[in-house]
Structure formats: C-alpha cells, structure tokens
C-alpha cells in the first residue's frame, strides 16, 4: 500500500470557542480496515470527527489530515465529501417535508454528480435497502421526522451505502439505542462490509461504550483521553474497557508519563 493511502492524521490540534480540545492526534485508518476510537465523555472524539469533516465551529490550529494523499484541511466540507469522506452524525437532524428518497438522490448527486441515471439510482436504492432489510415504505417518509433512534441510524447506514465513501466516520452510532436497535445497526454495518465497495472502505467507529463492537469487530482499537490518543491495541483492548472501565487505563497511562 502506498504511504499516501489512507485517512491520515498527524499532530492535529483543534480548538472550540478558543478552548483547545485536540492536543496532537496521530491516526491512520487504512483502506478496508475498521478502527474503533473509544474514550470517556469529553475526551475529544466528536471534536476529531467534526474537525475532519470541516465543521466551521471547530478550528484546526496545527497538524495535517489527508485522504489518500489529498489534504482535507484545504477543502470545504462539501469537497471533503466528494473526496470520499463520510460522517454519520451522533444526532441526525429531522427535516419535515423532505422525503427520504429525495434526500438520498440529492446527496448522491452532490457527492457524485451525474454518476447514476434515475433508473440506475432507483435500482441501486432498492438493492441497498434489501441488503439492509429495510421496508420500501421508508422512502416515502420525511427525513428523520418521527423516526426512532434505531431508524435514524439505519437511515445513516443506507446513506453511507448509497454514497459509497472511501472512508466513513461513525460518530457514536450506538448512542441512545436499545439492544435490538443496536443489533440491527451492527447487522447493517456488517452487511455493507460484505459488499465489494464496503470491503474497500476504511471505517472509524467512534464510541463511548464497547457494546457496538460486539456486532462489528474492529481491526484496531484506540483509546482517547484529554484530547490525545493514549493507547492502541486490538479487540482485546475494548474487552478490557468493558471489564475495567477507563480508570485503569488512565492510571496506566499516568504511570508511564
């Protein structure tokens, strides 16, 4: 693999309202790999996601972020999406009056203009909904309007399937889900990963709890605290967090400092 390939973050520092949140993040998500980024509330996980996506309230003050060799920090948010970056929001917004099918078509056109004729788009939409086990009536509903937490997250998975990004950041996709909804989202991610495009995509799953990782097995697990990645390991690291919580890791990292 080329040294430029991957979602590569080096020395990234970022502030929100003049308060530094990210204090030097180094991270590489390779094509086709699943990385999990874990950490307690307030550690900076969502700040990293939104900074990479180009949210205007988050100011990057140092470091670099590249996607397959292209600097993300030089691009507007929409151009970052066109370059192949996808962000699944922790709290997807509801937009009454905008039907799901129309939204997905507009999103596909914005990211990959002219890549699919209308008939091909409809065929792809039916195919992806079938893969995700979604009822076709979903398409006639207004975007996230009256949706349950699980339905909102399933829609985000469908959006990811339709956009086919090179790299996807899933920001606390498990937030607020019950056991059944969590399993459904995990199954959706697994189904997408089984497709050819899904196998090639890199994925960063941001989570506070390890429960979603029972349904999606990461290749690499990172622990983030106080704006830094303090520990990296395999899936056993997530299992350790489930057993011990974050206090043990904080003590270990403090002892090494």
pTM confidence score: 0.91
The domain segmentation of the chain, as residue ranges, is 7-256
What is the DSSP track for 28-48? Answer: EE-TT-EEEEE--TTSSHHHH
Per-residue pLDDT of the chain (257 residues; tens, 9 = 90+): 667 899 999 999 999 999 999 999 999 999 999 999 999 989 999 999 999 999 999 999 999 999 999 999 999 999 999 999 999 987 888 999 999 999 999 999 999 888 889 899 999 999 888 888 888 888 899 999 999 888 888 888 899 989 989 999 999 877 777 787 788 788 888 877 777 777 788 999 998 888 888 888 899 999 999 999 999 999 999 999 988 889 888 888 875 65
Whether 131 and 191 have beta carbons less than 8 Å apart is answered as yes
Q: Which residue has the tokens 């792809």?
A: 124
Length of the chain (residues): 257
Q: 135: which DSSP letter?
A: -
- Look up the CATH number of domain 7-256: 3.40.50.300
92 DSSP 8-state letter: P
3-class DSSP state of 158: helix
Instruction: Identify the H or E element spanning 119.
Output: helix 118-132
Q: Which residues pair with 95 in a beta bridge?
A: 143
The Cα–Cα gap between 50 and 223 comes to 18
State how far the Cα of 201 lies from the Cα of 5, in Å rounded to an integer: 12
| Contact (Cβ atoms closer than 8 angstroms) between residue 222 and residue 19 | no
């Amino acid at each position: 693999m080329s040294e430029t390939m991957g979602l590569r973050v080096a020395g990234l520092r970022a502030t929100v309202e003049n308060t530094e949140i990210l204090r030097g993040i180094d991270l590489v998500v390779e094509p086709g790999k699943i990385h999990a980024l874990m950490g307690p509330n307030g550690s900076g996980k969502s700040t990293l996601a939104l900074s990479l996506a180009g949210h205007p309230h988050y100011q990057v003050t140092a470091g670099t972020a590249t996607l397959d060799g292209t600097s993300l920090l030089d691009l507007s948010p929409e151009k970052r999406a066109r370059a192949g970056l996808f962000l699944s929001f922790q709290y997807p917004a509801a937009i009454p009056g905008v039907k799901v099918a129309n939204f997905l078509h507009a999103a596909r056109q914005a990211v990959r203009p002219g890549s699919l004729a209308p008939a091909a788009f409809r065929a792809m939409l039916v195919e992806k909904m079938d893969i995700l086990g979604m009822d076709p009536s979903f398409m006639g509903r207004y975007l996230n309007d009256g949706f349950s937490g699980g339905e909102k997250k399933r829609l985000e998975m469908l959006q990811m399937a339709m956009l086919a990004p090179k790299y996807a950041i899933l920001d606390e996709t498990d937030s607020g889900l019950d056991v059944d909804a969590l399993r459904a989202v995990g199954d959706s991610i697994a189904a997408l990963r089984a497709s050819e495009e899904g196998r090639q995509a890199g994925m960063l799953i941001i989570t506070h709890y390890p429960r979603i990782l029972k349904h999606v097995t990461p290749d690499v697990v990172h622990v983030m605290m106080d704006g830094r990645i303090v520990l990296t390991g395999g899936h056993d690291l997530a299992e350790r967090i489930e057993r011990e919580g974050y206090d043990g890791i904080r003590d270990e990292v403090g002892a090494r400092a």
